[in-house]
Every structure is written in structure tokens, then in C-alpha cells.
Amino acid sequence: MQSTSPVALTIAGSDSGGGAGIQADLKTFQFLGCFGTTAITAVTCQNTRGVSAVQGLAPDIVRAQIRDVLLDFPVAAAKTGMLYSAEIIQSVALEWGEHGGNIPLVVDPVMVATSGDRLLEAAGERALIDFLGRATLITPNLPEAEVILGRAISPEPADMKEAACEIQKRHGAAVLLKGGHKTTGAEMIDVLVNGSESQFIVRPRIRTSNTHGTGCTLSAAITAGLAKGESLARSVSRARDYLQRALESAPAIGSGHGPLNHSPAEQPLP
């Protein structure tokens, strides 16, 4: 019998444009050698130019999807993306508490759009912040970290590290704080804080309009690494390398912020 791929679960919204959300997560899982399972929280009507409509699913349907996956599949790691509402977040938290066990969980705290618009109402933000305590790793960008901490954060590396450490102290999870949203220089700097260890991850900035789904893709790639038994630090490093390749080879599709190439040319990841 052929050996099976490790199973990963994504709990997120559907993107009709295929560049972010569930669609990006499944493409990433597949390319990185995992079998992907899903729990869809909302259906979005969108393309590379923006979102025209969103319909959240009933919280009990979201919870049932998670339950059915966890009761039958040997899920080795999971992630959350857009959770849409306080009611859905609470249902996810309840189900994860009942059946999630010790499965590594990456929480991408989707709260602030690239435009700066808030994506959750105040009750949803509070519910998501409460949910962070269930995470193994939290992956906020700087605007999301500012919501979590309730204060401004400078993109200076020392300030980013201080903020990541503060989030870890409050919520008991490792933190990958992404700095690209507030900088325009030649390099992008992230900071990973995991227990008493911390490291800066520096990558050259790729000048491209194909940036749709970068956060989803990164968190999915980290989840795939954890599902395969890699350490957190290695999962993050390899996920960053994968994202860089996906950006470098992004296809010319659509007239707005296009998708990444989730199947970049075959070459071994470091």
C-alpha cells in the first residue's frame, strides 16, 4: 500500500478568484506534499480588483465541517484564516476545544485589509483575540498586531521584536510578526519569537502587483511543514522560501492584484 501524505486542515473563507483563502491553502498543501481538508467559514465574491460580496456560513455548519474532518482524518496540523464573525469564531473555538487536542494550530488573525479597512466588527476582534490562546503560532502583519495589542507599532526591528514578545506573553503562542505592510524598502523583515528564542527573517522585496493571498499562502506553507513533522523554525524558514518563489514566478492573470504561482518550478527547498 502506498504511504499516505500527512493531512492538513484549513478553516477559512472561499475566494472565487482562486488567489487566497481556501483555494490558496489547498494549492499550497498539495504542492508541499500534504492532503488538504477544509472547513469553509464564508463565501466571497471577488477577483483581482476586489471583493463585491461576502456571505458567512451558519456557525453550526462551520463547526460540523471541523468535527467531521477531525473525527475521521488524522489531521497533523491546521490553520485558520478569515473567520468572518464573532459567532463563527466562537463556534470554531468550541469545536477545537472539544476535538482539536494537541494538533498544531497556526492562526492567521485576518482582521485588517491591505487597504487598512477593518474586516471584523469590534465583537469579532475581541473573539479572535480570545481565540489566540489556542494557537501554536500566530502570524499577524503589523496592522493586525496593532489591533491585538491596542497600540501603534513601529516597523523598526527592535520594536517589532518587542511587540512579538508581548503578544507571545499575553497569549502563550509563538509569534511570526510580518513587517512588509509598513515598509517600502528593498528588504522585508519579519520576526519569529518562539519561547526564549527569536530571529529576524530578511528577504529581498519583490516589486510586483501579484500579492493577493500572500498571508494565506505563508500560513498554509507553515502548516504543511508542521504537518510533516518539521520544527516550527524550519517550517517558517521553508515557508518563507516557498512564498518568495511563488511571488517571483507569479502569473499575469487579472487586471488588479493578481495571484501567486502556488506551483513554482521544481527545485528543492533548503
Which residue numbers are catalytic?
178, 211, 213-216
CA separation for the pair 163, 153 (Å, rounded): 7
Query: CB count, 10 Å around CB of 112?
Result: 21
Can you say how many angstroms the Cα of residue 1 is from the centroid of all Cα atoms in its chain? Answer: 33
Pairing of strands 75-80, 105-107: parallel
What 3-state DSSP class applies to 182?
helix
CA separation for the pair 161, 155 (Å, rounded): 10
Q: Distances in Å between the alpha carbon of 127 and those of 65, 109, 132, 148, 164?
A: 20, 11, 9, 11, 20
Would you put residue 45 in left (φ > 0), alpha (ψ -120 to 50) or beta? beta
CA separation for the pair 138, 150 (Å, rounded): 16
Nearest alpha carbon to residue 5 among 27, 30, 25, 23: 30
The angle subtended at Cα 90 by Cα 43 and Cα 123, nearest 5°, is 85
CA separation for the pair 260, 262 (Å, rounded): 6
Rg (CA), the chain: 17
Strand partners, 141: 178
Q: Distances in Å between the alpha carbon of 73 and those of 131, 211, 230?
A: 23, 32, 20
